[in-house]
């Protein structure tokens, strides 16, 4: 293949990557809605919806945090272009998770909600994780990077690390017994954050 042809093919891949990943990121949501229409959301639909959205929020947060380690490990620099999108999808699933909880479970009863946030430690922790992610979503646009300056923006966006830690703690705290699943997430998060520490040392 000529250099020009190779370049053209690379451009197609380059241009195709983001839309393809975007569509993939929507799959869990589409499947959830489809299961809803099929009346297939377990005996406890509210719990099923909240858990599914929460699981995917955490998975996308870990995926966003995996971008930099993956780039360092493979030298595949293109992947960095996915980071913002993955982060925003994580935030989208967080918001849907939160909406399902406040709306479906609590019926937008904000007094009861406040008591719940105070009473249930795992919800307090979950809300804290949301509070850390909110400024990241707000400052995700290129204009905000310019406005804040790269160094400050990067500093701010390190809030994703404690948000990840809080999200995993949130998962641990809501469980009665049998900690295999959150343990898997905890290990993955530890590796992803550990890589960054090692790199800096």
Partner 1 sequence: MLIHAKKASDAASHEITPESVYLNRRGFMAGAAAVAVGGFAGNAGAAVLPAANGAGAFENLKQGYRKLGEKDQVSTYEAISGYNNYYEFGTSKSDPAANAKNFKPMPWTIKVDGLCAKPGTIAIEDLLKPHTLEDRIYRHRCVEAWSMVIPWVGVPLAEVVKQFEPLGSAKYIAFETIVRPEEMPGQRSARILPWPYIEGLRLDEANHPLAILAVGIYGKTLLNQNGAPLRLVAPWKYGFKNVKSIVRISFTEQQPKNTWQVMAPDEYGFYANVNPHVDHPRWSQATERRIGSGNVLSAFEARRTTLMFNGYQEEVGQLYAGMDLTRYY
Residues of span 78-117 touching partner 1 by CB under 8 A: 104-107, 112, 115-116
Binding residue for partner 1 (CB under 8 A) from 21, 47, 102, 172?
A: 47
- Count of residues engaged in binding partner 1, rule: CB under 8 A: 30
DSSP codes, 150-178: HHHHHHHHTTHHHHHHHHHHHHHHT-SS-
Angle at 58 between CA 159 and CA 129, to 5 degrees: 40
Residue 37, exposed/middle/buried by CB under 10 A (0-12, 13-18, 19+)?
exposed
Residue 3, exposed/middle/buried by CB under 10 A (0-12, 13-18, 19+)?
exposed
Q: Least distance to partner 1 from the beta carbon of 126, Å?
A: 12
Based on CB atoms, which residue is closest to partner 1, 5 or 177?
Answer: 177
Q: Least distance to partner 1 from the beta carbon of 167, Å?
A: 17
Query: Is residue 39 a contact point for partner 1 (CB under 8 A)?
Result: yes
Query: Is residue 200 a contact point for partner 1 (CB under 8 A)?
Result: no
> Who's near 186: CB < 8 A, 6+ residues apart?
168, 172
Residues of span 16-35 touching partner 1 by CB under 8 A: none
Based on CB atoms, which residue is closest to partner 1, 116 or 165?
Answer: 116
Q: Least distance to partner 1 from the beta carbon of 113, Å?
A: 11
Q: Which residues bind partner 1 (CB under 8 A)?
A: 36, 39-47, 49, 104-107, 112, 115-116, 119-122, 173-180
């Amino acid at each position: 293949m000529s250099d020009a042809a190779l370049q053209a093919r690379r451009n197609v891949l380059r241009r195709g990557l983001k839309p393809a990943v975007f569509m993939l990121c929507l799959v869990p949501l589409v499947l959830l809605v489809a299961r809803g229409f099929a009346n297939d959301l377990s005996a406890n639909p509210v719990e099923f919806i909240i858990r599914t959205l929460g699981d995917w929020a955490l998975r996308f947060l870990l995926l966003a945090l995996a971008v930099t380690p993956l780039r360092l490990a493979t030298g595949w620099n293109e992947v960095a272009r996915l980071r913002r999108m993955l982060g925003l999808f994580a935030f989208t699933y967080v918001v849907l998770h939160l909406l399902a909880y406040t709306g479906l479970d609590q019926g937008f009863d904000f007094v009861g909600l406040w008591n719940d946030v105070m009473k249930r430690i795992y919800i307090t922790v979950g809300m804290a994780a949301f509070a850390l992610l909110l400024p990241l979503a707000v400052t995700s646009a290129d204009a905000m990077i310019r406005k804040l300056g790269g160094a400050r923006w990067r500093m701010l966006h390190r809030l994703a690390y404690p948000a990840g830690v809080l999200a995993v703690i949130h998962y641990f705290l809501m469980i009665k017994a049998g900690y295999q699943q959150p343990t898997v997430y905890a290990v993955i998060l530890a590796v992803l954050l550990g890589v960054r520490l090692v790199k800096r040392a």
